[in-house]
């Protein structure tokens, strides 16, 4: 592989086999693209062009061969800087782990470290991010690419081997809340559709996804509001309503319960709006 902007067909086939689901995307200059916000782990490889990648206030430049992981329920964006960007997206499967992962740069690989704490793939991830940044002169990128393939293979096997409860109605309710977190259905409505008592529905949802339905919706709103605050000039009140909250105070309470604090950018905006 001599062209640093093209990993080559062989590597693409290996990644496709390792991930189980592979999509190549082209982002036009000045445009942005966001991976679907759901329970899956997305692994992105920049094939060509220079991208600006980030979540919330953090923005990092990702050159060709940069590897990016996007954890479950993460509102992340990829922006083409000054030329079209080709991005390879590997969707690795559902990972039912707690919300709250932080995207961190490490050795040229951007990723959500916390999402692998409960997976056997974590040692492979640590080996991957510990490798030298492949764009440095004199560093052979093959080792990094091989580590990526190995990481995806183990992660996919781990996800496939994890037992999944047979509650199809629970998965459907989870997906519906994920899509409609701004105006979610009542928990009693979801329980009624599933044909179970409300208390049992909440207990099973919490056992499966780590959070009760109300807390799950709250955390999704908080993540969305935090991202919106860093990407727009809207007032805190408008951000609150756009994220599904009734008003700013409602959003502020949700931030304190989810994160323990209100992000400075929202506090600054609030002060400036007075």
pLDDT the model gives residue 103: 36
pLDDT the model gives residue 121: 56
Domain 9-161: state its class.
Answer: mainly beta
According to CATH, where is 2.60.120.10 located in the chain? 9-161
Question: Which secondary structure element, helix H or strand E, spans residue 74, and what is its range?
Answer: none
pLDDT the model gives residue 9: 47
Question: Which secondary structure element, helix H or strand E, spans residue 22, and what is its range?
Answer: strand 22-27
Q: What is the 3-state secondary structure (H, E, C) of 175-192?
A: HHHHHCCCCCCCHHHHHH
Candidate CATH numbers 3.40.50.300, 2.60.120.10, 3.90.1150.10, 1.10.10.60; the one for domain 168-273: 1.10.10.60
Query: pLDDT tens track of the chain, all 274 residues?
Result: 334 344 444 555 555 555 555 677 888 888 887 776 555 667 777 777 888 877 655 667 777 767 777 766 666 778 888 888 888 776 655 544 333 333 333 334 444 444 444 445 556 655 655 554 444 444 455 665 666 666 666 656 655 555 444 446 787 788 788 878 889 999 999 988 888 889 999 998 888 778 899 998 998 888 888 878 877 778 888 889 989 999 999 999 999 888 888 877 676 544 444 4
Sequence-separated (6 or more) residues with CB below 8 Å from residue 86? 24, 25, 26, 46, 47, 48, 49
pLDDT the model gives residue 48: 79
pLDDT the model gives residue 18: 55
Assigned token pair, 175: 């997906």
pLDDT the model gives residue 219: 87
According to CATH, where is 1.10.10.60 located in the chain? 168-273
Sequence-separated (6 or more) residues with CB below 8 Å from residue 272? none
**Separation of alpha carbons 149 and 238, rounded Å:** 43
pLDDT the model gives residue 224: 84
């Amino acid at each position: 592989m001599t062209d640093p902007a093209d990993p080559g067909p062989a590597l693409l086939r290996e990644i496709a086999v390792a991930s189980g689901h592979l999509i190549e995307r082209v982002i036009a200059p000045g445009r942005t693209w966001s991976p679907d916000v759901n329970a899956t782990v997305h692994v992105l490889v920049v094939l060509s062009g220079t991208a600006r990648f980030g979540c919330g206030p953090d923005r990092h430049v990702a050159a060709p061969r940069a590897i990016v992981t996007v954890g479950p329920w993460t509102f992340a964006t990829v922006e083409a800087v000054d030329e079209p960007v080709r991005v390879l997206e590997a969707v690795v499967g559902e990972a039912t782990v707690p919300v709250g992962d932080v995207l961190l740069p490490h050795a040229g690989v951007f990723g959500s470290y916390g999402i692998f704490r409960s997976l056997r793939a974590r040692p492979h991830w640590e080996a991957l991010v510990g490798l030298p940044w492949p764009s440095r002169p004199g560093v052979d990128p093959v080792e990094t690419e091989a580590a990526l393939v190995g990481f995806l293979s183990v992660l996919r096997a781990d996800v496939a081997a994890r037992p999944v409860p047979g509650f199809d109605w629970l998965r459907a309710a989870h997906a519906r809340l994920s899509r409609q977190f701004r105006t979610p259905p009542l928990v009693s409505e979801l329980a009624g559709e599933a044909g179970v008592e409300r208390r049992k529905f909440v207990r099973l949802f919490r056992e499966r996804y780590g959070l009760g339905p109300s807390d799950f919706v709250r955390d999704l709103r908080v993540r969305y509001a935090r991202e919106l605050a860093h990407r727009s000039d809207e007032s805190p009140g408008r951000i609150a309503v756009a994220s599904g909250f009734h008003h700013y105070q409602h959003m502020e309470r949700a931030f304190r319960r989810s994160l323990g604090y209100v992000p400075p950018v929202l506090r600054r905006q609030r002060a400036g709006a007075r």
